[in-house]
Amino acid sequence: MMINEDLIKYMRTIQPARTETYTKLEEIAIAEKIPIIPEETGYFLRLICSLYKPQNILEVGTAIGYSTLWFHDNSEAQIDTIEIDEDRVKRSRGLFADLGYDKRVRVHHGDANDILPTLAKQYNFDLVFIDAAKGQYKKYFQEIDAMTDKGSIVITDNVFFHGMVAGIKAPTKKLAPLVKKIQAYNHMLKNNDGWQTTFYSIGDGLSVSIKR
C-alpha cells in the first residue's frame, strides 16, 4: 500500500457496504493467497463505470472473478475477461454461472498475448483493465491500442508494485528485472502522445490512460 495503513482501515469503515459475494471472495483470496484488487480499487472502478458508462469492457487477468464483479455490478457492459490459469477459469465461470452473470461475462482461457489479437478482430473496447503478468504490460498495451478508439480508457493495476517502482523499497534480485519492466511501462505511458495518462496512489498504484 502507498498510504498509511491506519488511514486505509478508517477509509474502509466509511465506504458503502459490499454484498456477501464480495466479502466471501475477499476471504478466499486471503486464505489461498490469491492476488485480487483491494476494495478501494474496486470503488474506484465503480466510479469510472458510473461516470463513463462503458458498453464493452475487457479485463486482462480474471483470477477468481473479484474485479469482474465490480465491473458487472456497476455497468451494463458486455465483459470479456482473460485468465491463463485453468483452475481459476473454472472457478470464475462457476461463480458467474451461479450468479447469473454469464449472460454478460465471457471468460477466455489462455495466454493474453494469444487471445488479445483474436479479440481485436471482433470487438472494440471502451474500457480495459490490465491486471495480469506485470512483465507483459507493454505487449498487452500494444495489442489493446489496436482494439480501442478515441475516448477509450485503459486502467492498469500495480504500476507502483509495492513501492519498488518508485524506489521506496528495494527490489530483491529476483524481482529487479520485473520492476524495470514496470518502470519502462510507466515511462512509455507518460511519453505516449496517443494517450493521456494520469497515475494514482490507489491500492498498489493505478494508471488511467485515455486515448486521444
Q: Is 6 known as a binding-site position?
A: no
CA geometry: angle 202, 204, 205, nearest 5 deg: 55
Instruction: Quickly count: other Cβ atoms within 10 Å of residue 137's Cβ.
Output: 25
Rounded alpha-carbon distances, angstroms, from residue 16 to 39, 52, 63, 200? 11, 20, 24, 21
Q: Is 114 known as a binding-site position?
A: no
Q: Is 131 known as a binding-site position?
A: yes
Q: Is 83 known as a binding-site position?
A: yes
Q: Is 126 known as a binding-site position?
A: no
Q: Is 67 known as a binding-site position?
A: yes
Distance CA 158, CA 148 (A): 22
Q: Is 34 known as a binding-site position?
A: no
Q: Is 32 known as a binding-site position?
A: no
Instruction: Quickly count: other Cβ atoms within 10 Å of residue 66's Cβ.
Output: 23
Matching residue, cell 486502467: 155
Task: Tally the residues of the chain.
Answer: 212
Binding site, by residue number, is 37, 67, 83, 111-112, 131, 157-158
Binding site for Mg(2+), by residue number, is 131, 157-158
Binding site for S-adenosyl-L-methionine, by residue number, is 37, 67, 83, 111-112, 131
